[in-house]
Amino acid sequence: MAYDGVGQEEVVKIGFRQAERIIDWVETRTAAA
């Protein structure tokens, strides 16, 4: 997915940020279980 005015690096950074959030959420759920 490419957006006008948004470079590939920015898209990758956003993807990594979202992935980190998901990992944190999974780790929290696992620790609470």
Looking at residue 27, its pLDDT comes to 95
Rounded Cα distance, 2 and 25, in Å: 27
Query: What tokens appear for 3 in the block?
Result: 């957006």
Q: Does the pLDDT of residue 29 top 60, yes or no?
A: yes
Q: 11-28, pLDDT tens digit by residue?
A: 899 999 999 999 999 999
Query: What tokens appear for 31 in the block?
Result: 């620790």
What is the value of pTM for the model shown?
Answer: 0.57
